[in-house]
Structures are given as C-alpha cells and as structure tokens.
Chains A and B, each alone.
Chain A
Amino acid sequence: MNNTNSIYLTCGCLLWFQDFSDDIDVKVKKYQRGESADLEALKDKKLKGQLANREELYKRSANAAAKAEKWLMQTESGLLEAEGIEKTWRFSQQAIAQEVDIASRKNQFDIVLPDLGPYTIDYTASGRYMLTAGRKGHLAIMDLHTLKPVKDFQVRETVRDAVFLHNELFFAAAQKKYTYIYSREGTELHCLKEHGAVMKLQFLKNHFLLSSINKSGHLHYQDITTGQIVGSYRTALGRSDVLQLNPYNSVIASGHSGGTVTMWKPTSAAPLIKILCHRGPVTAVSFHPNGHLMATSGMDKHIKIWDLRTYKSLQTLPGNAKSLTFSQKGLLAASTGSFTQILEPSSDSMSYNRYMIHQMAKGYQINKILFRPYEDVLGIGHSMGLSSVLVPGSGEPNFDSWVANPYETVKERREKEVRVLLDKLPPEAVMLDPTKVGTVRKERRKERRRKAEVEEEKAAAVAAVKSVVVKKKTKGRSKPSKVARKKQEGVEKVKRGFVSEGGDGGGGGGGDKKKQKRVVEVGDLPVALLPFVSKKGK
C-alpha cells in the first residue's frame, strides 16, 4: 500500500518535472550565448577536460538564470490581442487608453509647440528622461516620471540633432556651425569645432565616443572623456542625414543618397560593409537590439528588412518611411507624414506584419520616432511638438538596476558613472562580430594549386604570347629572325614566372623524390659508412 503510493507520487513528480523542464528549456536558450563548443573534434585530452568543465559551468549558469526568472522578473510584459473579427490595428489610442490603468494613461500625451519645430527626440538608456530639440533652437530635457521639464532653453540657432551622452547630465546638440555639449542645467561645456556642421549625432555608450556625420559627408568619432578625435573619415558618398548605431556591436551605419548603406568602425578609413539597399536615397536605417536585423527605407517607397548575418533582404514592404525604429522587444515602427505604423514579427517566420497604426492630425510632419526603453511607449517628434503614444508589448518589462535603472538615485548614478568609466571600451573593440573577442583567429592557409592546373595555365599563357601578331615596323626591325627572337623571349619570360611559382608546388615534388632516393641508399650502406652519407648529401 505504502509502496504503491510512493510510486504514484514519483510518477506525478516526474510528469510535473517534465512539464517544468520543457518550459525551462525555452528560457535557457536565451541565456546560452551561442552553441556549445564541439569537444569531439579535439585531440588534446587535457584541453578537452577543461573545456568540458567550462561548458558544464555555462550550462549550469544558464539554467540558474532561467530558473531565477520566475522570481526576479516580476513585471509582466504588455500585450494587445484581438478577439473574434477585431484586428489589432483597428484599435485607436483612445480605445487603448480606456482599457489601461491610470498611471499608464499618463504616458499618452501631446505637447503642442507650434513655433520652434520640427522636433527630434532622444531618451536616456533607462527611459526616464527625454531630450527634445526643435529645429529652430529649442532644447529641453523632460523627466517622464513627473512629466515636468528639467531644463528648457533656446539657443537661437538651427539645431539639427541632439543626443544624450552617458547619462542625463550631459547632452550634445548639433547646431548650425558646430556641435556643442551642454550640461543638464543648460550650460555650454564644450564646442566641438572639428566635427563641422553636423547633420546627425550618435553616441556609443560603451566606448564613450560621439560620432557625427556632417554636411560634407565626413564621419567623425570623438572620445568624450579625453576630447581626442579618434577617427575622421570621408564617406565620399555625399551629404547624408541618416546615421544609426547598431546597439549590438556599436557599428555605425549611414545611409546615402545613392541608395547604399555603409557601416563604419572608428579604426578603419574604409567602410566595413557597403550594401546597395534601395534604388533611390536612403531615408532611414534602424537596427534590431539583438543585432541580427536591419530595417532600411528609401525614397523608392520600400521598407526593407535585412538579415545582418547573411546581408540578404528578408522582406520588402511597400511604403515610405521618414523615420524607422525598433523597440526592445523587436517591434518596428515606421512613420511618414503624419502617419505611423507599427509592425510586429510573426511568431513562426521572420516576417513583419502590421500590428498598430497611429494617425495624427493632417499636416503634422513627423520628424523622428523612438521607442522609450523599458516602457510600452512610442515617442514622436513632429512639426507641431511632441507626442507619446502607447504601444503595448514594445518595451522590456524588467530592467536591471546595474544596466539601466529608471528609479536611479543620485548616489547610484554617480557610482554607475565611475563603474562605466572603468569599463570603457577602447575604439578597437568595435567590430562586426563582438563575440570574436578573445577567440583564436583561424590561420589562413595559402591555397596550393594542383600541378595540372599550373601546367594548364602555363600552356595558355605561352599560347597567348605566341599568338600575338607583331606589328609591321620600320626597316630592319621586323626581320623574321628578330620577330622570332622576340617571341621566344616573351615565351621564356612567361615560363620563368611559372617556374618561380612552381618552386613550392611542382618543384617541391621533385625534391621529395630525391630525398626518397637517398633514404633508400642509406638503408643499403654498411654502418661504418653511414657518417659520410649526410656529408655527401650536403
């Protein structure tokens, strides 16, 4: 009786455990950074053992992280689901506002600023502060928890772009002639003259680099901790106002009027990647936070999604987009005129489908859209001010206090500044595949051509030289003997080239044969004569 009971219990446990482990497996995958190493291919037993231990450790840490999710990540992510014949994109902001709680409703707002627009916006990494810059010189920082302006001032000059630096205390603004760095209080700290008349700014958080592209298409990287210009490169592709940072590897992409998108790192003068994306000027570029997807839009009325592992287009969507942005959870927003549409990736394949649309008052021109980190909010900067709309399911619900904390105190901010500065990456750390740090570079072996191939090439080259028709020249210089000699010389020259190359391939084979012959001889000789063999060989 007792026995059967216990069996039942264990069975139940097993079933439950099975269920639980299936669920865990999905979660664990997120924390396993890539596939595990192939240990079977290794010959070194010691290394194999060490690596096996390490793999075990990785597995355990991934498992622990997945299990801890249940307790650590309490905030639930947002969602928008349609029932019956409803469609998610039919829901207006008013309808959503009625369903959500009051605190979230605060995130829906419109600020009408008709005089100094169009506006561009930027958020801090934690999503707590918003920086807005009006084209005609209006700069403001807003605290989005209290919805009050922290500082609000005018520079009475064209402002083309503005970005936060590593925290809300500093920001850079690209003005008419130069770029300036301001403190939160609106004090001008630096004037960056080397950048020229900057069109777009981007800040590389891990590297403390401010990158900019100016009117003449020059790309600049400046280290803001030391003030040193790390890189200054000519794109040679004309004026561009499309500059976007790939958050995964800190590579900067710029879109050009020829339809190409180029990717840059601070330590090379040539672009890492150059892709022809559109048949017309590129208007916007955006990167998925996991670094595998890029969205581009062009004047040719296409929005394209690219796979950055293969550099192939995954999907082409019809439509114009003045501004594109990916959210933390992978939603893609595209805006043109006064119309914004939000696309979501379908769960089975990597194609993007319509998720939501947002139409503003006619005549508003949207300048920039940006998802607010750690919130289900899309910020819109347009010609008549600023708007903020709710996009359920766009933001990461759980923040990490050590990465970006919206509820950061002053003390924590100071501590974090020090920590981040200690971990500042050198400019060389920007690379297309950041997981390559600390791995072994594969030795590139020179391909050795086969002997037959070399022979064939040689014959072809000789034939080519022989078949050259000699021009008739002045008296005496086209004598048949001279022509023949010249041809012979040409043939010799071509052959000589092949001889020197064949030294490794063809010649090497001959050398081996010789050696083999000698070995045979050595075997035949009596022991007494052996010392003399090597001498003779030399």
Chain B
Amino acid sequence: MKVKVISRSADEFTRERSNDLQRVSRNYDPNLRPQEKAVEYVRALNAAKLDKVFARPFIGAMDGHIDAISCMAKNPSHLKGLFSGSMDGDIRLWDIASRKTICQYSGHQGAVRGLTVSTDGRILVSCGTDCTVRLWKVPLSSGIESSDSSDTSDKSIASYVWKNAFWGVDHQWEGNIFATAGAQVDIWDHNRSQPITSFEWGNDTVISVRFNPGEPNILATSGSDRSITIYDLRTSSPARKLIMRTKTNSIAWNPMEPMNFTAANENCNCYSFDARKLEEAKCVHKDHVSAVMDIDYSPTGREFVTGSYDRTVRIFQYNGGHSREIYHTKRMQRVFCVKFSGDASYVISGSDDTNLRLWKANASEQLGVILPRERKKHEYMEAVKNRYKHLPEVKRILRHRHLPRPIYKAGLLRRTMADAEKRKEDRRRAHSAPGSMPRKSIRKNRIIQEIE
C-alpha cells in the first residue's frame, strides 16, 4: 500500500517576517480559469473604455506671439527647445517643459516663413518675406537665459539679403549646407553671403523644401505649379519632378525609411511616395476636410502628424489610410505648422490664433514616472485591446472621436460628393466603349505626370 496526500505547511506559503512580500504560487493550468476568453474580452472592453476616460491630450498652450505662427523648428540637439516664427517677424525660443519663452530674436521686417536649426544645434537659420536670410546664435544652455530679450545684437550672427522673398528653409541633417525656397531653390553655406548654387525648373515659386535624412545631398521641394521636385546637390540640375492635380503644401521624409516621403496636399489628403518610384503613391491618407498645411514625421517613423486649414491636428500611421487621432479645441484656429517632439511623445501645433499648443501623441498615455507593475498592466491592457479590436463593441469604442459639428458635416459632404462622382464615372464608363475609360486607382489618379 502506497499512500500520499497533498500536504502543505503554512510556513511554505506565508511570509516569515511582516516586512517580507507575500509569497505567490503559480499554476497556469487552463482548467483553473474557466471562461478565460470571456474574461479577456471584458478586460479589453474595459481597457477601451478607460482609454476614452483618460484621453486628455491637450497639455497646454504657449502664449506670447502677437501674430499667427507661420513656422516652427525643432532643435536636434536639445529636446526641450522649440523655435517658432510668426507673421509679424518675431522668432521665439520656447522651453517646452516649462512652456515659457526663453529668448526672442527680432530683426525680420516681414513675416518669418522658414526656420531651421543646424546639425550641432548652435545656429538658427530663419528666412522671411523681407528677402533676408538671418543666422542666429542659439543660447548654450537655454535654462540660464532670462526671458527678457534686452539686446538682440549679440544673438544675430549674419543677415544676407537676396533678390526675392523666401517661403521656406531647411538645413542638412549632417553638414553645413542649408537650402531656401523662393522663386528658385538656393543652396547656402553658413559663411557665404550669397548662395552656392541655385536650381530652377519652371517659373513658379517653390513653397517648401526638405532635406533627406539619410542622404545629405538629396532634397525634395514642392512648388506652386503643383509639383514635387527632387534635387541632388551632386548634379547641377534637378533630378525628377512630379506634377499632381493640386498643390503640395509641405513635405516630410520618413526618418526611418529615408527613401519614403509624405506630401501634405491641398486637396485634404496626404500622399506617401517612394522617392524612387514616383508614378504611384504608396498610400493615400484621407480624413482632413480642408487643405493640409504642414506635416511632420515622428522620429520613430511609424506615424506622422498633420495640421490642416480645417482647424484640426491629426495623427496618421505611416501606412494607414485614415487618421488614428484627431485633436481640436474650440479656440484653435487654422493650423499652419505642426511638429512631433524629438522623443515621439508630444505633438506641437502652431495656429492662426497666435498660440502654440502642446499635445500628447497618445491621448490617454500616463505622464510621469510609471512603476514597473503599472507599466506591465498598461502593456497587458494594450495587448488585450489589440487582440479584441476587431469585435464590434470594442471597435466602436476605440474608433469613436468627438468631432466639431462643422468638421463632421464637411466630412459627410465630402463623402457624398465622392460617392456621387464615383457613381457618375461608373455610369459614364458603362456607356462608353469598353476599355476606353480604364479604372484608375486612387493612388494614381491625382498624379498628372512625372518628368525626368
């Protein structure tokens, strides 16, 4: 006879001293947890609801400019610093953590249209409608400088006057060269009062310029002739040009996949392109109901933020057709510029109402120090939510966003118009000779032609 029964001594399962942690024993047998799938589903539902409860994306507004904000620039070597330029010629450096102006740069006679910071973060380049390019010194440790800006003379390094008004400026990611956009694309060096080279293709104004993050000699521009042009500094002439049906307001390169860029278009959509294959967009990002004014990629390269003339800021996945998030407030007017912060956790928007606004990139993210247990819980909730996101109830909660009435109505109207157009085209196709009206994919039909 062999007998054994379960025998536990309390000492093994309880703590010895009162300041010890409680002992934990685990058994992962599924039979001990009946209906675990249903429990998981309920957790997913609760997580989705909590997401909505904690969705408070707006952190604060940065007040100080006295005219609409036209452009912004991140400091690549300083996370907290952000430059903004306004229509009255004022440039300010903000400390994002305290949301205060650290210093002001005055000198521009007209609107500031472009701002950019050199690679080492020491020199700020600005340009504007007063036909000048100005180079400024960035204060070394921005915390020490007081907010009042008594003398501006020592901050200004140089001021170069040129023939025409400028619309944008961008600095190389690695190097000493910056490019300005205006009547043509000019390439400048820090120390020369005149551009090194100029590129021209057609007679129309160039309105935005961006250097490629991976290849320092390649830049993309967009012009008022509805074109997107790619230049290579190593050759003397522009490389390729793409003409679309509507104007592109701004361009942003994907920092993680530097061959791809996304263009913010006037027709409410954003178009992601592969720079090597311009005849077709990789993805069309729809949702805005008015012209998209500015675009900026997150440093992770997985999402980008757009600001639009419809007074909203939206965040898109780099490969998602519709926006993940929409931000708006009653007081925010038309958004002219947006930036993702250097750590991908904040979004800054500058708008017509003279304020910069600071938003969280994830609306319901918890700020501050998170304990490991807490983080684990967040991760678990995220995983469960992700697992059940296709179920109707969870999906409904996750997708729902409150929209201001005008935007909601405009969205409806746009949809109706698109449907009507499609219907009309279908009918026309049905009544034409077969094959005479081939279907054109949405990724192609806004593109008119590509010129080499």
Interface positions of A from 18 to 74, Cβ below 8 Å from B: 30-31, 33, 65, 68, 72-74
CB-nearest residue of chain B to A290: B31
A437 beta carbon closer than 8 Å to chain B: yes
Known: A247-B34, A435-B37. A401 touches B26 (CB 8 A): yes
Cβ-defined contact, B4 with A409, below 8 A:
no
Q: Which of A79, A82, A100, A437 contacts B37 (CB 8 A)?
A: A437
B38 beta carbon closer than 8 Å to chain A: yes
A399 contacts across to B, CB distance below 8 A: 25, 27
Interface positions of A from 379 to 393, Cβ below 8 Å from B: 390, 392
Interface positions of B from 1 to 33, Cβ below 8 Å from A: 1-10, 13-14, 22-33
A363 beta carbon closer than 8 Å to chain B: no
Cβ-defined contact, A79 with B4, below 8 A:
yes
CB-nearest residue of chain B to A397: B6
Q: Which of A65, A96, A100, A107 contacts B28 (CB 8 A)?
A: A65
A99 beta carbon closer than 8 Å to chain B: yes
How far is it, in angstroms, between the C-alpha of A68 and the C-alpha of B27 when the chains are bound? 9
CB-nearest residue of chain B to A392: B5
B42 beta carbon closer than 8 Å to chain A: yes
Q: Which of B1, B25, B37 contacts A434 (CB 8 A)?
A: B37
Known: A401-B26, A423-B43, A425-B42. A289 touches B31 (CB 8 A): yes
B391 beta carbon closer than 8 Å to chain A: yes
B433 beta carbon closer than 8 Å to chain A: yes
How far is it, in angstroms, between the C-alpha of A72 and the C-alpha of B26 when the chains are bound? 6
Which candidate, A224-232, A260-268, A308-316, A527-535, is the interface stretch facing chain B?
A527-535
CB-nearest residue of chain B to A424: B42
A400 beta carbon closer than 8 Å to chain B: yes
How far is it, in angstroms, between the C-alpha of A137 and the C-alpha of B418 when the chains are bound? 75
Cβ-defined contact, A438 with B37, below 8 A:
yes
- Smallest CB separation, B270 vs chain A (Å): 23
Cβ-defined contact, A72 with B27, below 8 A:
yes
Cβ-defined contact, B431 with A534, below 8 A:
yes
- Smallest CB separation, B391 vs chain A (Å): 6
Chain B proximity mask over A94-130: 1 for CB below 8 Å, otherwise 0: 0110011101100100000000000000000000000
Cβ-defined contact, B35 with A249, below 8 A:
yes
Cβ-defined contact, A83 with B6, below 8 A:
no
B7 contacts across to A, CB distance below 8 A: 100-101, 103-104
How far is it, in angstroms, between the C-alpha of A74 and the C-alpha of B23 when the chains are bound? 14
Cβ-defined contact, A403 with B33, below 8 A:
yes
Known: A400-B25, A423-B39. A438 touches B388 (CB 8 A): yes
Chain A proximity mask over B31-56: 1 for CB below 8 Å, otherwise 0: 11111011111110010000000000
Cβ-defined contact, B35 with A86, below 8 A:
no
Known: A396-B32, A403-B33. A376 touches B5 (CB 8 A): yes
How far is it, in angstroms, between the C-alpha of A291 and the C-alpha of B35 when the chains are bound? 11
A434 contacts across to B, CB distance below 8 A: 34-35, 37-38
- Smallest CB separation, B359 vs chain A (Å): 30
Cβ-defined contact, A429 with B24, below 8 A:
no
B432 beta carbon closer than 8 Å to chain A: yes
B367 beta carbon closer than 8 Å to chain A: no
How far is it, in angstroms, between the C-alpha of A68 and the C-alpha of B387 when the chains are bound? 25
B202 beta carbon closer than 8 Å to chain A: no
B27 contacts across to A, CB distance below 8 A: 72-73, 396, 398-400, 403
Cβ-defined contact, B6 with A376, below 8 A:
yes
A250 beta carbon closer than 8 Å to chain B: yes
Cβ-defined contact, A407 with B14, below 8 A:
yes
Cβ-defined contact, B41 with A531, below 8 A:
no
Cβ-defined contact, A91 with B28, below 8 A:
no
Known: A73-B27, A78-B6, A398-B27. A534 touches B34 (CB 8 A): no
Known: A289-B31, A407-B10, A423-B43. A82 touches B38 (CB 8 A): no
How far is it, in angstroms, between the C-alpha of A146 and the C-alpha of B7 when the chains are bound? 15
Most buried by A among B4, B9, B22: B4
A328 contacts across to B, CB distance below 8 A: 31
- Smallest CB separation, B387 vs chain A (Å): 8
- Smallest CB separation, A424 vs chain B (Å): 7
A449 beta carbon closer than 8 Å to chain B: no
How far is it, in angstroms, between the C-alpha of A406 and the C-alpha of B6 when the chains are bound? 13
Most buried by A among B27, B31, B40: B27
How far is it, in angstroms, between the C-alpha of A31 and the C-alpha of B32 when the chains are bound? 11
How far is it, in angstroms, between the C-alpha of A96 and the C-alpha of B1 when the chains are bound? 9
A531 contacts across to B, CB distance below 8 A: 431-433
Known: A392-B5, A400-B27. A412 touches B32 (CB 8 A): no
B434 beta carbon closer than 8 Å to chain A: yes
- Smallest CB separation, A411 vs chain B (Å): 8
How far is it, in angstroms, between the C-alpha of A426 and the C-alpha of B38 when the chains are bound? 9
Known: A65-B28, A249-B34. A534 touches B6 (CB 8 A): no
Interface positions of A from 247 to 278, Cβ below 8 Å from B: 247-250
How far is it, in angstroms, between the C-alpha of A328 and the C-alpha of B6 when the chains are bound? 13
How far is it, in angstroms, between the C-alpha of A8 and the C-alpha of B72 when the chains are bound? 68
Q: Which of B8, B29, B391 contacts A30 (CB 8 A)?
A: B29
B28 contacts across to A, CB distance below 8 A: 31, 65, 68, 72, 400
Cβ-defined contact, A95 with B1, below 8 A:
yes
A248 contacts across to B, CB distance below 8 A: 34-35
How far is it, in angstroms, between the C-alpha of A291 and the C-alpha of B3 when the chains are bound? 29
A241 contacts across to B, CB distance below 8 A: none
B370 beta carbon closer than 8 Å to chain A: no
Known: A33-B30, A86-B1, A438-B391. A75 touches B8 (CB 8 A): yes
How far is it, in angstroms, between the C-alpha of A435 and the C-alpha of B430 when the chains are bound? 48
A375 beta carbon closer than 8 Å to chain B: yes
- Smallest CB separation, B43 vs chain A (Å): 6
Chain B proximity mask over A391-433: 1 for CB below 8 Å, otherwise 0: 0100111111111111101001000000000111110010000
Cβ-defined contact, A206 with B39, below 8 A:
yes
Interface positions of B from 79 to 129, Cβ below 8 Å from A: none
A527 contacts across to B, CB distance below 8 A: 433
CB-nearest residue of chain A to B38: A429
CB-nearest residue of chain B to A81: B2
B34 contacts across to A, CB distance below 8 A: 206, 247-250, 289, 291, 434
Cβ-defined contact, B10 with A145, below 8 A:
yes
A78 contacts across to B, CB distance below 8 A: 3-6
A348 beta carbon closer than 8 Å to chain B: no
How far is it, in angstroms, between the C-alpha of A145 and the C-alpha of B43 when the chains are bound? 34
A374 beta carbon closer than 8 Å to chain B: yes
How far is it, in angstroms, between the C-alpha of A352 and the C-alpha of B322 when the chains are bound? 59
How far is it, in angstroms, between the C-alpha of A434 and the C-alpha of B293 when the chains are bound? 50
CB-nearest residue of chain B to A69: B28
Cβ-defined contact, B46 with A422, below 8 A:
yes
How far is it, in angstroms, between the C-alpha of A350 and the C-alpha of B30 when the chains are bound? 20
CB-nearest residue of chain B to A426: B42
Interface positions of A from 290 to 341, Cβ below 8 Å from B: 290-291, 328
Cβ-defined contact, A392 with B434, below 8 A:
no
Cβ-defined contact, B29 with A100, below 8 A:
no
- Smallest CB separation, B5 vs chain A (Å): 4
Cβ-defined contact, A103 with B9, below 8 A:
yes
A-B residue pairs in contact (CB < 8 Å), sample of 30: A31-B29, A31-B30, A33-B30, A68-B28, A75-B8, A76-B4, A79-B4, A83-B1, A91-B1, A95-B1, A100-B5, A103-B7, A104-B5, A206-B35, A206-B38, A247-B34, A289-B31, A374-B6, A375-B6, A376-B5, A400-B25, A400-B29, A400-B32, A403-B33, A425-B39, A429-B38, A437-B37, A438-B40, A438-B41, A438-B391
The interface of chain B, by Cβ under 8 A from chain A, is: 1-10, 13-14, 22-35, 37-43, 46, 387-388, 391, 430-434
Closest 8 CB pairs of A and B: A81-B2, A376-B5, A429-B38, A78-B5, A99-B3, A398-B27, A400-B27, A437-B37
Q: 6 extra interchain contacts, Cβ-Cβ under 8 A, other than A100-B5, A103-B9?
A: A30-B29, A31-B30, A78-B6, A79-B3, A397-B6, A534-B431
The interface of chain A, by Cβ under 8 A from chain B, is: 30-31, 33, 65, 68, 72-83, 86, 91, 95-96, 99-101, 103-104, 107, 145, 206, 247-250, 289-291, 328, 374-376, 390, 392, 395-407, 409, 412, 422-426, 429, 434-435, 437-438, 527, 530-531, 534
